[in-house]
Amino acid sequence: MKSLTHLERLEAESIHIMREVAAEAEKPVMLYSVGKDSAAMLHVARKAFYPSPPPFPLLHVDTTWKFQSMYALRERAAREAGMELLVYQNPEAKARGINPFDHGSLHTDMWKTEGLKQALEKYGFDAAFGGARRDEEKSRAKERIFSFRSANHRWDPKNQRPELWRLYNTRKNQGESIRVFPMSNWTELDIWQYIHVEGIEIVPLYFSAPRPTVERDGLLLMVDDERFRFRDGEQVEERWIRFRTLGCYPLTGAVESRADTLPAIIQEMLLTTTSERQGRAIDHDQSASMEKKKQEGYF
Amino acid sequence: MSAPTEPVYRTEALIAEDIDAYLEQHQHKTMLRFITCGSVDDGKSTLIGRLLYDSKMIFEDQLASLEADSKRVGTQGEAIDFALLVDGLAAEREQGITIDVAYRFFATEARKFIVADTPGHEQYTRNMVTGASTAELAVILIDARKGILTQTRRHSYLAKLVGIRHVLLAINKMDLVDYQQSVFDKIVADYRAFAQQIGIKDFVAVPVSGLMGDNIIALSEATPWYQGPTLLHHLETVELDEQASAAKPLRMPVQWVNRPNLDFRGFSGQIVSGTVRPGDAVKVQPGAQGSTIARVVTLDGDLEAAHAGQSVTLTLSDEIDCSRGQVIAAAEHPVEVADQFEAALVWMAEEPMLPGRAYLMKIGTNLLTATITSQKYQININSLAHEPGKTLELNGIGVCNIATDRAIPFEAYEQTPDLGGFILIDRFTHHTIGAGMIHFALRRSHNLPWQHIEVDRAAHAAMKQQQPRLLWLTGLPAAGKSTIANLVEKKLHALGRHTFLLDGRNVRHGLSQDLGFTKADRVENIRRVGAVARLMTDAGLIVICAFISPFRSEREQVRQLMPEGEFIEVFIDTPLAVAETRDPEGLYQRARAGELKNLTGFDSPYEPPEHPELHIDTTALSAEEAADQIVARCLN
């Protein structure tokens, strides 16, 4: 017998995790951010439950500041998977006009961290799948696949349950909820390779094209819509760029690249020398910032 | 022996020149999960850091923060401290120790590796067992200057306990012993003698230096006397568990029943051993029903065969009952089904293991109630001696008999870890508090069916013209339980009811005369009383129990024994200060004087009921009034 490849094993493990949640959780949901990790996770979910559609909805915690082409793919991906798509926008952030230009980290706190808490409470979801991977960042390396959040959504890294074999303890206390990371053991390269092998549709922004850009504070930003606010002296310049991760467009740095096919992207990734989180403004403050954010309830 | 080919992390040239060819090659990688055992002093973090660094899993921005951190908290002066790469959480980085299990990733051109990294200090057993449970190989680090230490024996024993088939002995810091062959040979000989003693049949030993990189990727010129595999070469070529388990009979625990419409009924799960093909005869267990495999369904189309490790959906050619918790097994080699087992148990919680207490058990896709009926012995992790002991503390390891509330499909852990490994979950905190590995089913489990009795409990109750009840009075010592219980029985007796009173003090003279007042003995005492009370209600009686019964868990367990509605928990609520003034036996006085240990409410905990059927506040009611309320509730 031929051995399973590493991708086959990773996929089988992720499927197993998703089925455990479907069988044991009361009201699961899959967080869907429209990025490549979400795309791979959604694809695995379709495989896990085929010929049934995945027995839970997709939830997009929206900030209203994502790239336009992300919104375009969002609806189509949900439809093709036969799943309900829920979109949640924090009403308070909306009313106060919170945006990445004026409000700095408050933007992420209110739209994403608060928005996620509100959405989970509104619908009463007790288990939420997320596409986070352990290789993304050091504090993730120690997070469990089933990660418990207290009633106020805090993560306690000192009080995690041991996770043995393929036996996941899904029992929770009143008010607790679970974040489940079925893709924990995948690396960035695995995700790209899987997207390539399986032919999964991803947002075109991952592929290089000439796009309108502005260079600011060492990040290469894309002018995605008319809400972009220019600083004095800033000029739009067309550059060949692509994105390694996608988030709110005014906070997401692009890389200059000519890679316009998946193999070319993977080639660049393998020969690159910086990690993918580098393009995210959120991590720059301090090396333990992600751990702090998570304790406060960031996904 | 000829020099083995050198493993290659990454063919940069091929990536640059022909990415499609590279991807094609990359798609055929396999995957190995391993665990590293050793302490920071053994250079474990340095070794893992080096594997990550050499495989280019570290990017420039991470390297920049690593260089900054190295200068700030590193232990290597101006040089890069690889150990900092693998220390994750802020708190532990400050303390200079890792405190939990962390998973790292790297790859060569042949394999992807997932490394479970566990710290080498207290909490060790729990963390290592957790990390080892998903590992196929253990790298055991030895400091060449120190040789085999107690912790080496501990690591090796745990690796064996969890059933890891491959052991790689990395004899590290060879640079500090001038790469002497004699040092290496002596350690290998010592280890071989020990390994045989604990049943490790085979191991591979490699002389390395994590700091200098000797024999990690390439054979080192510093050790011309060593011609075996390098560390990485062995990791790349060792046989994977799934290859061994594919040759065994088919077992697939059913996770989820797949019913998109009335025409399709599939059973989804991960194959844990064997191979499945359409047409194969199978049995669905527990149960006697057999069928044959109709289809192996996946989104990519039906498969002609699927093997151990794959997650699939099976359909059967017959309409038979099959649901989550059952196992689809090869018809000619079915699994065993039983409800009592001998198992090794590793305890993972501060709260000790208590025989007789009911825990939740997850095994395969089954979640059920289990109790440890007795512990045969515990294992001293340092001397490996068997020692007597009724309970297990955090990080304790024991061999126990375990009973489950229903029969489950299983196999010995050694044979099929996915059907013999289990976790225990606390029913109140819901934490994972123990992990176990089934050795075998106890014979009595197979041979003891229930005897059908024709004059049943309904007949007994009808004869007495009453509803059986179990009135359970719980509260602190000297709360007034016995006084009230006596009054209740007198009142019921006067009304012509058939009753019996079991009193906490009286059972200590007979039924529980061999028990003391430790936590474990209290749990066993209540278990016995609960079983007796249940038999008495089967006889149609109204049973009154007056017991401190300090733990929610055991009271809940007695409740579970009884038919719905028959258990009436009565909380005799007397504040400690009031109970102390009553104290007819002078218990509190003696406890204060230090003459009495383990007095509930004083130096032993009491867990008040959260939702009792009756809450009696003895500071507001007289004993007579309390008894009237209880009688009214009983006859209600």
Model confidence over A131-169: pLDDT tens digits? Answer: 989 888 766 777 789 988 877 777 776 677 889 999 999
Q: What are phi and psi of B320, to 5 degrees?
A: -120, 160
| Nearest Cα residue in chain A from B247 | A1
pLDDT band, residue A288 (cuts 50/70/90): very low
pLDDT band, residue A273 (cuts 50/70/90): low
Query: In chain A, which residues have their Cβ closer than 8 Å to the Cβ of B367?
Result: 24
Q: Is the Cα dihedral A42, A44, A47, A52 positive or negative?
A: negative
pLDDT band, residue B89 (cuts 50/70/90): very low
The mean pLDDT of B114-121, rounded to a whole number, is 77
The end-to-end CA distance of chain A, in Å, is 40
The CA-atom distances, in angstroms, between B422 and each of A75, A83, A169, B326 are 42, 34, 11, 15
Select the residue of B256, B309, B362 nearest A169 (Cβ to Cβ). B362
Query: In chain B, which residues have their Cβ closer than 8 Å to the Cβ of A157?
Result: 89, 91, 100
pLDDT tens readout for residues A97-122: 888 888 878 888 888 888 998 998 89
Select the residue of A4, A49, A172 nearest B309 (Cβ to Cβ). A4
CB pairs below 8 Å between A and B: how many?
Answer: 199
Greatest mean pLDDT among B38-52, B239-253, B269-283: B269-283
Alpha carbon of B31: minimum distance to chain A alpha carbons (Å): 5
Inter-chain contact B297–A50, Cβ cutoff 8 Å? Answer: yes
Inter-chain contact A291–B297, Cβ cutoff 8 Å? Answer: no
The mean pLDDT of B441-454, rounded to a whole number, is 67
Residue among B404, B399, B464, B467 nearest B437 (CA): B399
**What's the pLDDT score for residue B117?**
83
Interface mutation vs chain A, best among B432, B433, B610, most A CBs within 10 Å: B432
Provide the b/e sequence for B565-601 (b: ≥16 CB within 10 Å). ebbbbbbbbbeeebbbeeeeeebbeebeeeebeebbb
The mean pLDDT of A218-239, rounded to a whole number, is 87
**What's the pLDDT score for residue A157?**
66
| Nearest Cα residue in chain A from B52 | A135
**What's the pLDDT score for residue A274?**
55
**What's the pLDDT score for residue B122?**
55
- Here the tokens at position A12 are 């089988």
| Nearest Cα residue in chain A from B257 | A23
**What's the pLDDT score for residue B99?**
56
Rounded distance between C-alpha atoms, residue A264 and residue A267, angstroms: 5
Query: In chain B, which residues have their Cβ closer than 8 Å to the Cβ of A279?
Result: none
Average pLDDT, rounded, for chain B: 86
Is-contact B334 B285, C-beta < 8 A?
yes
Other beta carbons less than 10 A from residue B143's beta carbon:
20
**What's the pLDDT score for residue B65?**
62
Q: Which residues of B are catalytic?
A: 549
Alpha carbon of B172: minimum distance to chain A alpha carbons (Å): 25
Is-contact A180 A147, C-beta < 8 A?
yes
Provide the b/e sequence for A161-185 (b: ≥16 CB within 10 Å). bbbbbbbbbbbbeeeebbbbbbbbb
The mean pLDDT of B239-262, rounded to a whole number, is 90
pLDDT band, residue B91 (cuts 50/70/90): very low
The mean pLDDT of B508-519, rounded to a whole number, is 86
Q: Write the DSSP assignment of A240-279 as a string of letters.
A: EEE-SS-SBGGGB--EE----SHHHHHHHHHH--S-GGGG
Query: In chain A, which residues have their Cβ closer than 8 Å to the Cβ of B264?
Result: 51
Reported pTM = 0.80
On the question of pLDDT at A259 being above 70, the answer is yes
The mean pLDDT of B491-507, rounded to a whole number, is 90
On the question of pLDDT at A61 being above 80, the answer is yes
Q: Could you tell me which residue, B37 or B43, shows the higher pLDDT?
A: B37
Inter-chain contact B260–A275, Cβ cutoff 8 Å? Answer: no
Rounded distance between C-alpha atoms, residue A155 and residue A171, angstroms: 16
**What's the pLDDT score for residue B449?**
57
Select the residue of A15, A139, A160 nearest B88 (Cβ to Cβ). A139
Interface mutation vs chain A, best among B10, B36, B57, B62, most A CBs within 10 Å: B62
On the question of pLDDT at B45 being above 90, the answer is no
On the question of pLDDT at B43 being above 70, the answer is yes
Query: In chain A, which residues have their Cβ closer than 8 Å to the Cβ of B99?
Result: 158
pLDDT band, residue B109 (cuts 50/70/90): confident
On the question of pLDDT at B340 being above 70, the answer is yes
Interface mutation vs chain A, best among B94, B237, B265, B270, most A CBs within 10 Å: B270
| Nearest Cα residue in chain B from A157 | B89
Residue spans of beta strands (DSSP E) within B144-250: 166-172, 204-207
The CA-atom distances, in angstroms, between B385 and each of B157, B377, B380, B381, B634 are 12, 10, 5, 8, 53
On the question of pLDDT at A56 being above 90, the answer is yes
pLDDT band, residue B40 (cuts 50/70/90): low
Alpha carbon of A4: minimum distance to chain B alpha carbons (Å): 6
Average pLDDT, rounded, for chain A: 85
On the question of pLDDT at A89 being above 50, the answer is yes
Q: Could you tell me which residue, B8 or B213, shows the higher pLDDT?
A: B213
Inter-chain contact B105–A185, Cβ cutoff 8 Å? Answer: yes
Prediction ipTM score:
0.87
Select the residue of B23, B60, B127 nearest A266 (Cβ to Cβ). B23
Alpha carbon of A227: minimum distance to chain B alpha carbons (Å): 31
Q: Which region among A85-89, A258-262, B97-101, B567-571 has the lowest average model confidence (pLDDT)? A: B97-101
Q: Write the DSSP assignment of B87-130 as a string of letters.
A: --SHHHHHHT---S-EEEEEE-SSEEEEEEE--SSTTHHHHHHH
Interface mutation vs chain B, best among A1, A5, A6, most B CBs within 10 Å: A6
| Nearest Cα residue in chain A from B267 | A49
pLDDT band, residue B347 (cuts 50/70/90): very high
Alpha carbon of A90: minimum distance to chain B alpha carbons (Å): 30
The mean pLDDT of B252-275, rounded to a whole number, is 95
Quickly list H helices, B140-230. Answer: 150-161, 181-198
| Nearest Cα residue in chain A from B325 | A23
Rounded distance between C-alpha atoms, residue B182 and residue B184, angstroms: 5
**What's the pLDDT score for residue A249?**
85
The mean pLDDT of B103-114, rounded to a whole number, is 86
The mean pLDDT of B132-161, rounded to a whole number, is 90
Alpha carbon of B366: minimum distance to chain A alpha carbons (Å): 10
